Amino acid sequence: MLKIVEKSKIWFSISIIIVLAGLFFMFTNGLNFGIDFKGGTVVKIDFQKEMSQEESAEIDNIISKYCDVDDTEKRIMNKTELELSFKQGVIEKESIGKLHKEIKEKFQLKDDYVLSERNIGATVSKELTKTAWIAVVAATIAMLIYITFRFEITFGVAAIIALLHDILITLSVYAIFDVKINTPFIVAMLTILGYSINDTIVVFDRVRENKNKNRKLPLNELANSSIRQTISRSINTSISTLMTIVCLFILVPAIREFTLPLIVGVLSGSYSSIFIASPVWVMINKRLKKAYK
């Protein structure tokens, strides 16, 4: 018989280890914020043909004349579009023009080779960071109110703890592997919150249903029984969702900044809805019972 709640220390320990590792990297190296949050310049160049490895190396050599290659993000989009991203302070504005002109001359590109050039100032990036946090906090509060209204406050608190778990796990993975964070990450985080809360509500709905049927059933057995009845649905939904997102991640490189956090978030959300939310709900209710005795 599957006993999730009784082994909650194991599930909590796994999450705590990942989060602590993430916090260590956050405090030592910091999160790798992209130009959407730090400010900078993005230049898109029509390379007009598929780029070979030798040509990519030549572009790196050109970039090294003006700034450190490691401080520049280079991406190939739609096979023929070259995107160069420079964080604020890495390169002078005048040098950016000289750089892409040298690329034009080196590879004999047409006059309309620059598709776009976007500058993001420090003020805009700070405002974006502030707005992103407000969006995440507002979404979390709204979910707490909804779950409290639909169920009860203990379900709401447990669900929010599970959501915070998903946010921390995703941030930890990004910190550990030094993955760049840009605007699509925030969109993905809000999507993850919605996916995770939906999965958690399915379990809690079954908990409430079983509780109404048998109010004398111990909390541990109530939670375990509800998880057993919904676990196959949660796993099957997660697998089908992951298959789609992984295919997008592999086949559509242009949206990897969006699909990568979704992959991490779906895995974390599925884990938290089964191994975190229900055990936390049991712990809260047990403590409340002791407090009111």
pLDDT at 15: 95
pLDDT at 10: 93
- Among 115-124, 148-157, 180-189, the minimum mean pLDDT is found in 115-124
Residue 277 CB neighbours (<10 A)? 30
What is the side-by-side order of every strand in the sheet holding 81-87? 72-77, 81-87, 40-46, 114-120
pLDDT at 16: 95
pLDDT per residue as tens digits for the range 186-240: 888 888 888 888 888 889 999 989 888 887 888 889 999 999 999 888 899 899 9
- Among 131-145, 163-177, 260-274, the minimum mean pLDDT is found in 131-145
Q: CATH class for domain 40-120?
A: alpha beta
pLDDT per residue as tens digits for the range 93-146: 788 888 888 888 888 888 788 778 888 766 666 777 778 778 878 888 888 888
pLDDT per residue as tens digits for the range 52-94: 888 888 888 888 888 877 778 888 777 788 888 887 778 887 8
pLDDT at 191: 86
Query: Which of these, 42, 36, 30, 58, lies nearest to 91 by C-alpha position?
Result: 42
Q: Which residue carries 């002109």 as its tokens?
A: 101
Q: CATH class for domain 5-33+124-291?
A: mainly alpha
Answer yes or no: is pLDDT of 11 > 80.
yes
Query: Which of these, 165, 111, 171, 169, lies nearest to 140 by C-alpha position?
Result: 165
The residue ranges of every structural domain in the chain are 5-33+124-291, 40-120
Percent of the chain scoring above 90 in pLDDT: 25
pLDDT at 268: 93
Residue 38 contacts by C-beta under 8 Å, 6 or more apart in sequence?
87, 88, 125
| 180, 261 contact by CB (below 8 A) | no
Q: Would the CATH topology of 5-33+124-291 be identical to that of 40-120?
A: no
| 5, 278 contact by CB (below 8 A) | yes
Query: Span 143-161, mean pLDDT?
Result: 85
